Each structure stands twice: as structure tokens, then as C-alpha cells.
């Protein structure tokens, strides 16, 4: 019974999963327990992605199911689930000169489900916006995305601006199709994730270290 919902989400049976959530809520099941089942499912999908058994559509579909679940649970939750347990603030965006959002959005969903407090600045985000948001929100991580090779310089500028602003406790992560170790070195960022799963893994490592 407890694994039924987990399995429906892992198999991306959207209608089944949402019907189960409705039924559980009607039966008086604790929404926090329902959320825990969902999290187990999302971890499994993340593992399958890392193992090359699931792909971007599966991550997006899983995220879509999770939005549906969250919308159903929200009225039943006393507060945002365990705010105290949030892992920390991640300020994220696609850098200036680039408007591609699909990869960034997947990372947002995955970080959110993993328990980070995600501040999504959107696309074509100016250098100052990253730095200001990171300072105001007390971000532990700034995460930058791009698809265009020409936007790599924007990442470099954000790294320089964050250093200059004295955000010494904020780690800088980059990601996107053109990113390699060479690009990490070029921009001066602290690291990169090859994909959304690696990005979450890296964020967890950094927060663990902190």
C-alpha cells in the first residue's frame, strides 16, 4: 500500500498517481507521509537517470506529476513542509545573453524536490541580479546555466562579481551543454554538473561540507 504511490510515480502513471493522492487525502493519510513517498519515487527516477535508464522527458514528466501532487497537498499542509529542514538557498538562473530554460528548469525541479530552497531568477539574468539575490537571500549556492557558447563569458563575470562582492560563503556552480572542466577553469566557478542529477549531487556535497 505504501509503495503503490511511489511505484505509480516511478512508472510515470500520472492519472493513477494523482488519483491515489486524492484517495489517501480523503482517507486522512498524513500529507507529510504522502510527500515522503513521492520523494522516494523522485530519488528512484534520479537514480535511473544517472544510470542511463531514464531521460529528460522522464524527469520533466515526473516534475509535472509532482506539481500536481503539490497542488493537492498544499491545502492540507500546516506550513511549507518542514521549513527548518530545508538544505539551504540556491539562487539559480540562465545567464545574460541566453534565454534557454529547459535544462535550468529541470535542475530547479530536482533541487526543489531534494529539499533545497530554490530562488529561480529566470533567463537572461544580469550579473548584478545574481549577486543581489544571493546576498539578499543568503544563498549558499549560485547556480548558472547556459546553452550558448557565447554566454560562457557571462558566467565568468558573475563569478568575478560574486568574489568582488565578498560572497565568500557562496559556492558557484555552472551547467549546460557547452560546459566542460576547461570551461569551469576559464570561468573560475567552483564546479559543474554534467546534468541535473549531478548538479543536485554537487549541491548536496557542498552543503554537507558547509
Chain positions contacting other proteins, by CB under 8 A: 12, 14, 54-58, 60-61, 64, 97-100, 102, 105, 124, 148-150, 152, 177-178, 180, 182-183, 186, 195
Q: How far is the CB of 24 from other proteins (least distance, A)?
A: 22
Asked whether the beta carbons of 44 and 65 are under 8 A apart, the reply is no
> Which residues lie below 8 Å from residue 6, measured CB to CB, with a gap of 6+?
37, 38, 40, 41, 44
What phi and psi, each to the nearest 5 degrees, are found at residue 18? -70, -35
- Rounded CA-CA distance 21/25 in Å is 6
Q: How far is the CB of 69 from other proteins (least distance, A)?
A: 16
DSSP type of residue 194: S
- Rounded CA-CA distance 87/140 in Å is 9
Q: What is the DSSP string of 80-112?
A: STTGGG---EEEEEEBTT----HHHHHHHHHHH
Q: Order of strands, edge to edge, in the sheet holding 171-175?
A: 117-120, 89-94, 141-145, 171-175, 191-192
Q: How far is the CB of 20 from other proteins (least distance, A)?
A: 17
Q: How far is the CB of 112 from other proteins (least distance, A)?
A: 16
Set of cell numbers at residue 90: 540556491
Q: How far is the CB of 12 from other proteins (least distance, A)?
A: 6
Q: How far is the CB of 16 from other proteins (least distance, A)?
A: 12
Amino acid at each position: 500500500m505504501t509503495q503503490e504511490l511511489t511505484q505509480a510515480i516511478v512508472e510515470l502513471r500520472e492519472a493513477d498517481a494523482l488519483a491515489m493522492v486524492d484517495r489517501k487525502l480523503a482517507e486522512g493519510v498524513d500529507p507529510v507521509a504522502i510527500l515522503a513517498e513521492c520523494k522516494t519515487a523522485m530519488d528512484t527516477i534520479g537514480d535511473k537517470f544517472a544510470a542511463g535508464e531514464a531521460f529528460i522527458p522522464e524527469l520533466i514528466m515526473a516534475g509535472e506529476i509532482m506539481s500536481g501532487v503539490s497542488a493537492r497537498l498544499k491545502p492540507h499542509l500546516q506550513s511549507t513542509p518542514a521549513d527548518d529542514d530545508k538544505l539551504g538557498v540556491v539562487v539559480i538562473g540562465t545567464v545574460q545573453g541566453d534565454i534557454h530554460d529547459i535544462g535550468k528548469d529541470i535542475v530547479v525541479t530536482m533541487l526543489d524536490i531534494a529539499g533545497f530552497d530554490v530562488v529561480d531568477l529566470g533567463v537572461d539574468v544580469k550579473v548584478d541580479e545574481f549577486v543581489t539575490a544571493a546576498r539578499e537571500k543568503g544563498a549558499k549556492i549560485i547556480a548558472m546555466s547556459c546553452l550558448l557558447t557565447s554566454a560562457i563569458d557571462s558566467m565568468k563575470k558573475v563569478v568575478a562579481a560574486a568574489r568582488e562582492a565578498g560572497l565568500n560563503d557562496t559556492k558557484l556552480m555552472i551547467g549546460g551543454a557547452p560546459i566542460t572542466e576547461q570551461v569551469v577553469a576559464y570561468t573560475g566557478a567552483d564546479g559543474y554538473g554534467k546534468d541535473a542529477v549531478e548538479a543536485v549531487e554537487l549541491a548536496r556535497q557542498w552543503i554537507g561540507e558547509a
